[in-house]
Structure 1
Amino acid sequence: MPTIHDDEQEQARDAEKELEAQLDKKRAELATLQAGREKSKRLAELQAELAETERKCQEEAALAEAESKFGPLGKKLAALDTVDGLVIVKQHDGVKVRLWADKNGEKPSVQACRELVRPCVVHPALERFDEMVKDRPLLLVTAAGKVLELAGIGAKEVSGK
C-alpha cells in the first residue's frame, strides 16, 4: 500500500523530470541561437576580409599605375597606408616646394599642408582624399611630410620635431 511519503517522492521525481525536460529544451534553444550568431559572425568576418582584399587589390593596381606614370616609389612617389586606405602622393615641383617651405616655416598650418599636398595626390580621387582628411585632419601633415621628403626636405621640418 502506497504511503503519503511514496506519493511525495513520486511527485518530486515527476517535478524533477519536468524540470530536466525544460532545461534540455532551453539548452537546445540556446545552442541553436549561439550557432546562428556564430554563423552570422563568420559571414561578417568573411565579408570584411573580402572587402579588405578587394581594397588591397585596387590599391596595388593604383600603385602600379602611379609608378608607371610618375616613377618609382620612394623617389618620385610616396605611399601612406592609413586606416582609411592607401594615399599616394607624387613629387611636387621643386621650386614650388622651396617657396612653400620659405613661406610656411617649420610649423605650417593644416591649411598650408593642404595647399602643398592636394596637387600631389595621385590616389585616391581628391573627393575621397578630402573625406579622409575630414575625418583625420592630421593626414595632411603626414602627407605633407612625404611630399617634402620626395623634394629632399625631411619630414621633421613639417612636424616641427
Structure 2
Amino acid sequence: MLVTHWGLSGPAILRLSAWGARYLFSSGYKGRLVVDFIPDVHVESLKTMLSRHKLQFAKQKVINSWPLEFGITKRFWSYVLERQGPFKDEFVTAGGVPLSEISLNTMKSKICSNLFFAGEILNVDGVTGGFNFQNAWSGGFTAGTTIGGLALDSCIIGSK
C-alpha cells in the first residue's frame, strides 16, 4: 500500500478497489477503510498489549496515546472514503461484456455478427501484475487474427 499526496494507492488498494468496485459505486464512494498493519499479531496478543497500554496511560485520553508496539501512526489505521477520484486518475474498472456472450476462440460476439471484443470492454477482472494487459494483448491478437482471416476469405471469394 502506498500513501500518496492525494490518498492511498498501490497493488493492495487497486486489488481492493477491483473486489469492491460494485459496492463502492452503490455507496456513492463513501465509507471507511480500516487497515490492519499488524496482521502477524494474534487478536489475543493485541488485547494484552492494549490492556497493558490502557493501564499505563489510564489518565490520558485514548486519542492522545498510541501503543508504540504497533509501529505506525494512528492516522493510517482508519481512512475515510469520501468520493471517487477524477475519471482520468482511475485505474480500476469492473463489468463489461459477459464472456458468455462471446466466442473465446475468435473474440466474436454471439449476439451481433461481425462484432469483436478485446481488453477492458470485457467483464474480466484480473489480479494486479500484468494479467489485464496480457488479457488485452491476447484478446486483441485473437480478434485481429480472426478479422484478418475473414477479410482474406472475403477477398478470395470476391476475386472468384
TM-score (ref. length: structure 1): 0.22
Structure with the higher helix share, 1 or 2: 1
